Amino acid sequence: MFEKLKQLAERYQELTRLISDPEVIAKQNEWQKYTKEHAVLEEIVTVYREYKRVLENIAENEGLLESESEPEFKELVELDLAELEIKKATLEKELKALLVPRDPNDEKNVIIEIRGGTGGEEAALFAADLLKMYSRYAEQKGWKVEMLASHYTDIGGFKEAIVMIEGKGAYSRLKFESGVHRVQRVPVTESGGRIHTSAATVAVLPEAEEVDVEISPNEIRVDLFCSSGPGGQSVNTTQSAVRITHLPTGIVVSCQDEKSQHKNKDKAMKVLRARVLEKRQEEQSGEMAQARRVMVGSGDRSERIRTYNFPQGRVTDHRINLTSYRLEEILQGDLDEFIEALITTEQAEKLKQVES
């Protein structure tokens, strides 16, 4: 642990020099990358330096105990030493927690993609419920919600809805929502009163800024088409809808919510950058995939993570075996009970890895 701390302190000193270098400042993308890394390291280096000062004081006091014979003075030194030992233990615990690997995306805005899955119209209606749930959660946090793309069904559900949620730490709170959400209830389309099981998928992506993902114009193909509404009927006759294909990866993004072609393209590029970043990170961390599959799950959208059971009024998160009988409140955006439990579980797992 201490060798790692020494390396981080050295890196912090190097970054301090780099962000003050006029040549680096002139290269804004590079300078921004270094300042972000510097800010992340600042807290842990500050605590580490305080820890080293405590160790020096302990060594000094131990030396005084050996050289001094005056009882009253020795008693004062021993009291001071006892306080320093307590402080040392506290700082060691704090350093272990700070060494837990941080997700570099935690402070970012998020793009949430919700799609109706198994269950037809009922799945699409459940997708709409999930969108409302996340939108209300965001409102409670004072975050901004913006619709990027949507595909409505005739009765008010969503085949697909993509929203941007802007707010400090949004990704750190919502990243565990990726996966399959299952609902058990009597659908509005069911005349016999039978309970059906349907599902919707949720993908939570960190917003990728241009500094994170550079996409060259020659890497994309942009197609224009007329937008359409529920059921496929034509909404307008101008080619304002945009479809962007990222040629190196084959990722395709469409946006038709805005009347302006320029706005649709801008929204589509936001989604495209997020998906390209996700793909690159998956490729880079492929070897670490197993290590990331702690109790909170892999975040894979094919994994069933939560069940919303209406007859029993309960919600169960299968990754941490947590059940709450506050279904209505949760669907109104009161998600913190689950989010806090998921964060705590992940941190505990990561801390075990640091200590081992």
Residue by residue, pLDDT tens for the chain (356 residues) are: 778 888 889 998 999 999 998 998 998 888 988 898 898 889 899 999 999 999 999 999 888 888 877 888 888 888 999 999 999 999 988 888 788 777 778 888 999 999 998 888 999 999 999 999 999 999 999 999 999 888 888 888 999 999 999 998 899 999 999 999 999 999 887 767 889 999 999 999 988 876 567 788 888 898 887 766 554 444 555 677 888 899 988 888 888 877 788 888 888 888 888 888 888 877 765 543 443 444 455 555 567 899 999 999 999 999 999 999 999 999 999 999 999 999 988 888 877 776 65
Residue 104 lies in a domain: no
CATH code: domain of residue 300: 3.30.70.1660
Cβ–Cβ under 8 Å, residues 132 and 126: no
Residue 223 lies in a domain: yes
Measured between alpha carbons, how far is 310 from 327 in angstroms, rounded to an integer?
A: 7
Indicate the number of domains in the chain. 3
HSE (CB half, 13 Å, CA atoms) of 30? 11
- 127 with 231, same domain: the answer is no
Residue 125 lies in a domain: yes
Report the pLDDT value the prediction gives residue 287, as an integer from 0 to 100. 43
**Which residue in the block uniquely carries the two structure tokens 């399959």?**
180
Q: Within a 10 A sphere around the Cβ of 217, how many other Cβ atoms? A: 6
- 62 with 162, same domain: the answer is no
- 202 with 69, same domain: the answer is no
- 198 with 304, same domain: the answer is yes
Residue 159 lies in a domain: yes
CA 316 to chain centre: 21
- Name the domain boundary from 99, 119, 146: 99
Report the pLDDT value the prediction gives residue 257, as an integer from 0 to 100. 77
- Name the domain boundary from 69, 99, 129: 99
Residue 165 lies in a domain: yes
- 142 with 62, same domain: the answer is no
Closest among 139, 151, 62 to 333, alpha carbons compared = 139
- 166 with 242, same domain: the answer is no
DSSP state of 102: P
- Name the domain boundary from 73, 99, 125: 99
CATH code: domain of residue 257: 3.30.160.20
- 83 with 40, same domain: the answer is yes
Cross-strand bridge partners of residue 324: 315
- C-alpha dist (Å) from residue 129 to 4, 39, 135, 152, 158: 46, 38, 10, 13, 9
Report the pLDDT value the prediction gives residue 297, as an integer from 0 to 100. 54
Closest among 241, 234, 245, 276 to 262, alpha carbons compared = 241
Residue 289 lies in a domain: no
Domain holding 66, by residue range, is 2-99
Residue 130 lies in a domain: yes
Cβ–Cβ under 8 Å, residues 136 and 332: yes
Residue 288 lies in a domain: no
- 185 with 259, same domain: the answer is no
- 196 with 300, same domain: the answer is yes
- 15 with 81, same domain: the answer is yes
- 193 with 249, same domain: the answer is no
- 31 with 55, same domain: the answer is yes
